[in-house]
Amino acid sequence: MKMFQHLMYVNGARGTTQIENIIATLRDCQKSNKNLGKHMLRLSYNKLPSKYRRCLLYLSIFPKGDRIRRTTVCRRWITEGLITSRENHADYEAYCCFDVLFLPGFIQPVEISDMGKIKTFTLHPIVHESISRIGKDLNFVDTVLPSDLTRHLPIHSRTRVQASHVDHSVQAAAGSGIVPFLPYLAKSSQWQLMKMLDLEGCRGLKKQHLKSICKIILLKYLSLRNTDITELPKQIEKLQRLETLDIRQTAVQSFPTKSIMLPMLKHMLAGQGNNFDRFQESFTAMRLPSGVRGMKKLEILSRVVSDNADDSIDVGHLLQLRKLGVILSGKNGSFGHLLQQIEKLHGSLLSLSIQINQTPEVGDTLGAEEVVTLVSPPKLLQSLKISGITSGLLLWIAELDQLTKLTLSRTYLTEDYICILGKLAALRCLSLHRNSYTGSRLTFKEREFKSLKSLVVDGDIITNITFDTKAAPKLEMIVWSFAKMESISGLRDLWSLKKLELNGDCNPGPVRRALGKHPYDPEFKHNPRHGHQEDGAVVAASPP
């Protein structure tokens, strides 16, 4: 149905003749008992620009039913040469292509971020079957290798990377992933010419595998995400054309040498990520290598540990950096140096994550006055995540007029700071995690948080949430995880509310009744922690 509606929409501007032709074609399909869905899919496919058709066919290399990450596939499109825009605009073009494929319904969202962006997606079985058939007809994909191997390798070299052992290697690798297949690939003369290798989720990778990979001199994209590797080989520095290195969800915590130079690297993705679920945080990261200042093309530097001022100074030289995630593990003085370097990135930085692991002692904290004197805060910043910073930095948040997403933890904010956040005109997503706020009552005041759409509250201190009249007029979703809940009031005045989720033990009855008076009947979900109502934990929603 979505494809039919899209066909009608895009052809409507071309006159009734186009629409009549489409309807006549569909009627002919019905009369001849042809599959209507497949025919509409083919019509939609033919309407795509040729460069986007190739990007759609590329998705057929992923196994049927797979959850595919949007960022992963966009980077792979670029690496494979399917997106050929000028270098500085390739990412934008890839995301535009993704949107074009989403609108007709080729892509089905699975996970959507708080900002409304698709994080993961899948393909309908009919879509996957159809584009797989088209790809084979056009010799777009290799038909020799098993389907569970094709997703790991580049499309343009796959048919040529066939050593004399291909039959034996395929047989050896059948059902056990690509790792047993790697030694046979490495014997091929085409091995060193591959530009992409995605080994995410593979188990059994050994040092000899990694050393062989480091011989792929043209490699641009290497993903070792969620593998069981514990260290990188010294030969990693031979990958002088590498643009993306993804070692997230691995045990790798440092480069094999203190100094490393990968001059073409754009995306350095490391660490286990962060987990704010329920009252705990878990950060693991990779130590920032010395000499990183020479990697001038870096755009994403994610989950790196810095424990001295020299590391921070290196960051200030990365003038193309769009996303930075840093964990400070040394004395809090390095925080001041980091802020000064961030000031140099005010023309490029869009996303910033800072965690201080060491609780500052009295006298160590950077004074609020020093932070205010920073003349160029990153005004382009759209996403900010702070953990363990209790003063200073929060004062210039008020100047971030493009900030749309804010995540806080261990910041110990008072009510006055909540009012500052409420004046951020562009703020759409606010997440308050453990010890982000000191009070038990969280109040959203009148005419504040005018653009807020998503609110996540997770911690054991806040027991009451109140929305004053005309507060957060665009708020669509509330997720509150708590140890104890006393009240949530003002729900009826949240006219845009679509979903309320409570995680913890409480009596949901009063909340249901309050939502029952809401003019648009929002979805309500309650997830008890222990599966039953505990004595003494009975709470009621205050009258709206």
- The reply to whether 364 falls in a domain is yes
Question: Could you read off the pLDDT tens digit of each residue along the chain, which spans 544 residues?
Answer: 455 444 444 444 444 555 555 556 666 655 565 566 677 788 889 989 999 999 999 999 999 999 999 999 999 999 999 998 776 689 999 999 999 999 989 999 999 998 889 999 999 999 999 999 999 999 887 666 677 788 999 987 654 555 445 555 455 445 568 999 899 889 888 899 999 999 999 999 999 999 999 999 999 999 999 999 999 999 999 999 999 999 999 999 999 988 889 999 999 999 875 454 433 444 567 888 877 889 999 999 988 888 776 677 788 899 999 999 999 876 545 777 888 889 899 899 999 999 988 654 444 444 443 444 456 788 899 999 999 888 766 678 888 999 999 999 999 999 999 999 999 999 999 999 999 999 999 999 999 999 999 999 999 999 999 999 999 999 999 999 999 999 999 999 999 999 999 999 999 999 999 999 999 999 999 999 875 444 333 344 444 4
- The reply to whether 393 falls in a domain is no
Whether the CB-CB separation of 68 and 95 falls below 8 Å is answered with no
Domain end position, chosen among 206, 237, 252: 252
Q: Please check whether residues 223 and 154 belong to one and the same domain.
A: yes
Q: Which domain holds residue 463?
A: 404-544
Q: Please check whether residues 190 and 321 belong to one and the same domain.
A: no
Q: Please check whether residues 374 and 426 belong to one and the same domain.
A: no
Question: In whole angstroms, what is the distance from residue 115 CA to residue 402 CA?
Answer: 14
Q: Please check whether residues 240 and 285 belong to one and the same domain.
A: no
Q: Please check whether residues 246 and 279 belong to one and the same domain.
A: no
Q: Please check whether residues 411 and 468 belong to one and the same domain.
A: yes
Q: Please check whether residues 434 and 500 belong to one and the same domain.
A: yes
Residue 425 CB contacts under 8 Å (≥ 6 apart), including other chains = 401, 450, 451
Q: Please check whether residues 85 and 54 belong to one and the same domain.
A: yes
- The reply to whether 372 falls in a domain is yes
- Tell me how many degrees the CA angle 444-450-453 measures, rounded to the nearest 5: 85
Domain end position, chosen among 137, 158, 173: 137
Whether the CB-CB separation of 420 and 426 falls below 8 Å is answered with no
In the chain, how many domains are there? 4
**SS3 call for 210:** helix
Q: Please check whether residues 69 and 115 belong to one and the same domain.
A: yes
Which of 507, 467, 501, 500 lies closest to 484 in space, CA to CA?
Answer: 507
Phi/psi of residue 222, each to 5°?
-135, 115
pLDDT, position 339: 84
pLDDT, position 333: 54
User: DSSP assignment, residue 160?
Assistant: T
Whether the CB-CB separation of 405 and 384 falls below 8 Å is answered with yes
pLDDT, position 56: 97
Q: Please check whether residues 365 and 452 belong to one and the same domain.
A: no
- The reply to whether 397 falls in a domain is no
pLDDT, position 312: 73
Q: Please check whether residues 92 and 158 belong to one and the same domain.
A: no
Question: In whole angstroms, what is the distance from residue 147 CA to residue 173 CA?
Answer: 11
- The reply to whether 96 falls in a domain is yes
- The reply to whether 392 falls in a domain is no
Q: Please check whether residues 184 and 214 belong to one and the same domain.
A: yes
pLDDT, position 181: 87
What is the domain-level CATH number for residue 60? Answer: 1.10.10.10
